[in-house]
Structure 1
Amino acid sequence: MERGKNMESIPTDLILEIFTRLPSKSVARFRTLSKHWASTLGSPDFKKLFLARSSARPRLLFAVERYRYNEWLFFSSPQPQNKKSLLLDYHTKFSGDVSQYICSYASGLIYFPFVRVIDEDKPLICNPITGMYDGLVVRKYSNSRGFLGFDPIDKQFKVLDFHSVLTLGGSSGEPKWRDKEGIYYAPYHRCSNAGICINGVLYYLVQTVMEPSFVIVRFDVRSEEFKFIVAACLSDHLEQPSGLSLLNFKGKLGVINCNCAYAGGRRTVELCLWVLEDVQTEDWVRYVYTLPQNEVLGSCKFSVAGVTATGDIVLCMRYTCKPYYVFYFNPVKNTLQSVEIQGFGEELETVENRGVVYAFVDYVEDLSLNDAKQLKSSLSEIKSLCSCCQKEGQHNHIGAEV
């Protein structure tokens, strides 16, 4: 039979099913082939189907900040299922004067308050896997880090910057900042901790000015209403609020702190977790866990990445190195699993060129920002020269250019 003759076309439903099983970066590649593919893989039905499929295969997202070089690099790996080692996939690099800011994460996207892409200095929201990004309107006189939130009902992203709100993806033309009353003139200092968005509600930590104490700001992304939650239980950490991390604990707000103590020449790691059980009554419940002894965890700097949907508390090493480990602590079974993460690249693994690691658990690949701009480095073949023989060698993430 002649090629292509009398062959029935593949049903659209089957095509979409096939593409939902591919990584989002592969989908982004196919969208560039033709208008037909762009329309098919950019349709609302496919986005919804792809998101549902991705939710069943959550990943670990690693954002590596190299403030010495003013750049962020993004990697991801599967979340382990009783595995001892995992290999990273490299995705995207963003360059800019970002050392004084912390990126904000919500529903698969990353927000930078100020970063340089190509020749522009502006806030931007990006898909760290596909490299799609969209520059945002600059809010005048703003020194805020800003936070990204997502409304799962209206499927809208919003940026909160002090008392101003920027809605993304609306139908009213170019997005503009809108002032909201209720927080800007309050006597609070915003802490350096990143905010967290849980089920359409954005939380971040502030300190009162007159009588030092912690207050949690609760911002409903959909209604844009503010609520202030007293967090007096965290008063012991007033001098070092950066040691606190906000996390999603089974759909509730959690605040966690790590304490280390030495006994018999060995370091013991203790996790102190406060969970907001009831928002209306502001009822907090405190849990304290002493982690099983682990030689690597007992000798390195680490941070808390979050809590998985299965209830594991995830800790990651603070800096890129070789070997690099992520730790999964199950508070119910009192078990600690070490997983070696491979693939940051030779340069990132050296002490002089290492980066600070921020990890995000249960990362779900999303196809939002499909109509935004594309980083050239995210779809191109990235090559470099081997430093010892000056010959073209293996891929080197640091050599990628935007």
Structure 2
Amino acid sequence: MERGRNMEPLPTDLILEIFTRLPSKSVARFRTLSKHWASTLRSPDFKKQFLARSSARPRLLFAVERYQYNEWFFFLSPQPQNRRYEKSLPLDYHTKFRGDVSRYICSYASGLIYFPFVRIIEEEAPLICNPITGMYEVLAVRKYSRSRGFLGFDTIDKQFKVLDFYSILTVGGSGEVNWRTQNVSCDLWYHRCSTAGICINGVLYYLAKTFIEPSFVVVRFDVKSEEFEFIDAACLNDHLEHPSELSLVNFKGKLGMISCNVADACGRRTVELCMWVLEDVETQEWVKYVYTLPHNEILGSCEFKVAGVTVTGDIVLCMKHTCKPYYVFYFNPEKNTLQSVEIHGFGAELESVEDRGEVYAFVDHVEDLSVDDGLQLKSSVSHIKTLCSCCKKVVQHNNIEEKV
């Protein structure tokens, strides 16, 4: 009897259960095997099942910019759950691309990253990419604008939109892609600050300040309805001169702002976090919390930044530059505990002092297959062509499978 002739085929439910445990990149490859697999792995039931399992295992997404070489690297690391902290965690390297990115930093929403301007060949264009699969799409250029834009995600219609001042661009879909201007009635002019925006439950927030009698305001943009609202944020005015010191976070579904204060006390470096939470949008009520972090020798001797707040309420801090050893810190306000977790796997190239990169970390990253389908990203970062600044020749970088 030939081996395997009488083996029963695996049940479909079991096969789908196996696929939910795979990375989205692997699922995308299996979709190309046949029409049957393409249909099965694009079904609403499978997408829902995949998202549920992905949400139960959120990751830390690291975007590393090595600006001296015009390079970006993307890594994923496990994120501690139920406040059970490991002493060290590994990194998974995913994609890399080279492109002359302007001074406007990236914006993150629902697993995708938006770069307001990337120099490709001789043109500057906005670019949106999936840092895990390496797929990207070059967007239409808005005329007469070099301001930074923000990426938002409509959780109902599963649509991404880019907001650049009061101009809006819907990403993906079919038909001609054009910027459209939303008429906004307001009595004062607003100046956008250098802090990144954040999208929470289909609403995009970013910090701005008035030209007349300078004061902070928060611009609230509903991604689905495309309606604007301005929220008074004068409680943050102590940071008017240095708005980049403020980090926007998702604090249990509400908008939060965090600033870090570092001081020397009794020969020790102490770290204080101030967090303002928008408790009520209608009444524009802010509540302030102040936390003095427990002493930590590593945190007390390095440059760090706020990465965000996890769904469990932990405030996450990360070291500003790649190095060895590299640490991420989890502060639990309820228990007043601070845990340091070593992250390893950036590679010797990024960990050297001369070639280190700046780290931008995003908490609670999950993979949503329906988002990938809706956006229809078709190109690969390995196809990006840039113009060499030295010899002015066109260079194509095959980076999708390149190892660090």
Q: Same fold (TM over 0.5)?
A: yes
- 1:335 equivalent in structure 2: 337
Find the residue that maps to 1:348 and give its secondary structure.
Answer: helix
Q: 1:310 aligns with which of 304, 309, 312?
A: 312
Q: 1:280 aligns with which of 282, 285, 291?
A: 282
- 1:384 equivalent in structure 2: none
Does 339-348 or 33-42 show the bigger shift? Answer: 33-42
Alignment of 1:337-376 (within 5 A): 337-367=339-369, 368-370=371-373, 371-375=376-380
Q: CA distance change for structure 1 residues 99 and 17 in 2, over 3 Å: closer, same or farther? A: same
Residue identity in the other structure for 1:84: K
Shift of 1:169: 3.7
- 1:127 equivalent in structure 2: 130
Are 1:20 and 2:38 matched, yes or no?
A: no
CA distance in 2, matches of 1:177, 1:332: 45
Shift of 1:52: 1.7
Q: 2:149 aligns with which of 146, 150, 158?
A: 146
- 2:194 equivalent in structure 1: 192
CA contact (8 A) 1:316 1:327 kept: yes
Residue identity in the other structure for 2:334: V
Find the residue that maps to 2:372 and give its secondary structure.
Answer: coil
Shift of 1:122: 2.4
CA distance in 2, matches of 1:229, 1:329: 28
**TM-align CA RMSD:** 2.3
- 2:30 equivalent in structure 1: 30
Alpha-carbon displacement from aligned partner over 1:252-279 (angstroms, at most 9, x marks no partner): 0000100011122211000000000000
Residue identity in the other structure for 2:372: L
CA distance in 2, matches of 1:93, 1:101: 19
CA contact (8 A) 1:134 1:369 kept: no
Residue identity in the other structure for 2:252: K
CA distance in 1, matches of 2:208, 2:78: 34
Q: CA distance change for structure 1 residues 195 and 249 in 2, over 3 Å: closer, same or farther? A: same
- 2:91 equivalent in structure 1: 88
CA distance in 1, matches of 2:188, 2:101: 27
CA contact (8 A) 1:61 1:76 kept: yes
CA distance in 1, matches of 2:121, 2:17: 35
CA contact (8 A) 2:382 2:400 kept: no
CA contact (8 A) 2:188 2:212 kept: no
Are 1:101 and 2:104 matched, yes or no?
A: yes
CA distance in 1, matches of 2:44, 2:176: 21
CA distance in 2, matches of 1:123, 1:37: 33
CA contact (8 A) 2:169 2:180 kept: yes
Query: What TM-score, normalized to structure 1?
Result: 0.89
Q: CA distance change for structure 1 residues 184 and 123 in 2, over 3 Å: closer, same or farther? A: farther
Q: CA distance change for structure 1 residues 346 and 289 in 2, over 3 Å: closer, same or farther? A: same
- 1:292 equivalent in structure 2: 294
Q: CA distance change for structure 1 residues 2 and 312 in 2, over 3 Å: closer, same or farther? A: same
CA distance in 1, matches of 2:297, 2:208: 35
For structure 2, the 5+ residue unaligned runs are 384-398
Q: CA distance change for structure 1 residues 187 and 126 in 2, over 3 Å: closer, same or farther? A: same
Q: Between the two proteins, what is the percent identity of the paired residues?
A: 77
CA distance in 1, matches of 2:285, 2:231: 10
Shift of 1:312: 0.5
CA contact (8 A) 2:293 2:338 kept: yes
CA contact (8 A) 2:116 2:149 kept: yes
Shift of 1:217: 0.2
CA contact (8 A) 2:77 2:89 kept: yes
Find the residue that maps to 2:54 and give its secondary structure.
Answer: helix
Q: CA distance change for structure 1 residues 286 and 189 in 2, over 3 Å: closer, same or farther? A: same
- 1:73 equivalent in structure 2: 73
